[in-house]
């Protein structure tokens, strides 16, 4: 389930940026630092070029339970995982799946034998079919 913030919190964020409160806060903090460290030239440069540093996130986290399980399966069978398999773009996803299908797979060998002779006996060696 996605997390959402309240309308009041969203309006506070937008007013923080639009009223340039961020600029005065940043300037105040840098001046305080400059007073404590007068020889630091990086603070002087930062005071000359104050810019908005907050950034809205570009992508939502893609590691859901099913994506983790899919990635583990690809890793076990193919040896690598192409991140385009999880893309929302269907063309990228199809191309990534095509790349996986052309590789030689190391199929894990299971403990179960599917031959009729093996299935005719139970785990104790008794004949099941008569």
pLDDT tens profile 70-83: 888 888 877 788 88
- Which of the pair, 3 or 106, is modelled with greater confidence? 3
Q: What pLDDT, on a 0 to 100 scale, did the predictor assign at position 14? A: 85
Q: Does the pLDDT of residue 1 top 60, yes or no?
A: no
Q: Count up the domains in the chain and report the number.
A: 2
Q: What pLDDT, on a 0 to 100 scale, did the predictor assign at position 27? A: 95
Count of H-run helices and E-run strands, the chain: 6, 0
State how far the alpha carbon of 58 is from the alpha carbons of 9, 11, 55, 61, 62, in Å: 19, 20, 8, 10, 12
- Which of the pair, 62 or 1, is modelled with greater confidence? 62
Judge whether 14 lies within some domain.
no
Average pLDDT on 42-51 reads 94
Q: Are residues 47 and 66 in the same domain?
A: no
State how far the alpha carbon of 126 is from the alpha carbons of 73, 112, 113, in Å: 36, 17, 16
Q: The tokens 């964020």 sit on which residue?
A: 13
Tell me the average pLDDT of the chain. 81
Rounded Cα gap, residues 22 and 16, in angstroms: 6
Inter-residue contact 34 to 43 (CB < 8 Å)? yes
Judge whether 3 lies within some domain.
no
The residue range of the domain holding 80 is 62-130
Average pLDDT on 2-22 reads 84
What are the beta bridge partners of residue 105?
A: none
Q: What pLDDT, on a 0 to 100 scale, did the predictor assign at position 79? A: 77
Q: Are residues 109 and 46 in the same domain?
A: no
pLDDT tens profile 77-116: 777 888 888 888 889 888 888 876 656 656 656 666 666 7
Q: What pLDDT, on a 0 to 100 scale, did the predictor assign at position 37? A: 95
Q: Are residues 45 and 86 in the same domain?
A: no
Q: Are residues 105 and 44 in the same domain?
A: no
Inter-residue contact 22 to 52 (CB < 8 Å)? yes
Domain boundary, last residue among 52, 75, 97: 52
Q: What pLDDT, on a 0 to 100 scale, did the predictor assign at position 28? A: 96
Judge whether 5 lies within some domain.
no
Q: The tokens 């009041």 sit on which residue?
A: 8
Judge whether 27 lies within some domain.
yes
Domain boundary, last residue among 27, 52, 77: 52
15 half-sphere exposure, CB direction, 13 A CA radius? 6
Inter-residue contact 127 to 121 (CB < 8 Å)? yes
């Amino acid at each position: 389930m996605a997390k959402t913030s309240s309308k009041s919190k969203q309006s506070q964020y937008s007013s923080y940026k639009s009223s340039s409160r961020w600029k005065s806060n940043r300037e105040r903090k840098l001046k305080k630092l400059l007073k404590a460290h007068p020889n630091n030239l990086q603070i002087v440069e930062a005071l000359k070029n104050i810019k908005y540093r907050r950034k809205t996130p570009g992508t939502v986290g893609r590691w859901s339970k099913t994506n983790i399980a899919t990635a583990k399966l690809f890793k076990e069978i193919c040896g690598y995982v192409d991140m385009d398999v999880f893309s929302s773009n269907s063309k990228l996803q199809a191309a990534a799946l095509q790349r996986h299908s052309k590789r030689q797979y190391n199929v894990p060998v299971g403990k179960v034998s599917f031959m009729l002779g093996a299935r005719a006996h139970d785990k104790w060696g008794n004949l099941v079919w008569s």
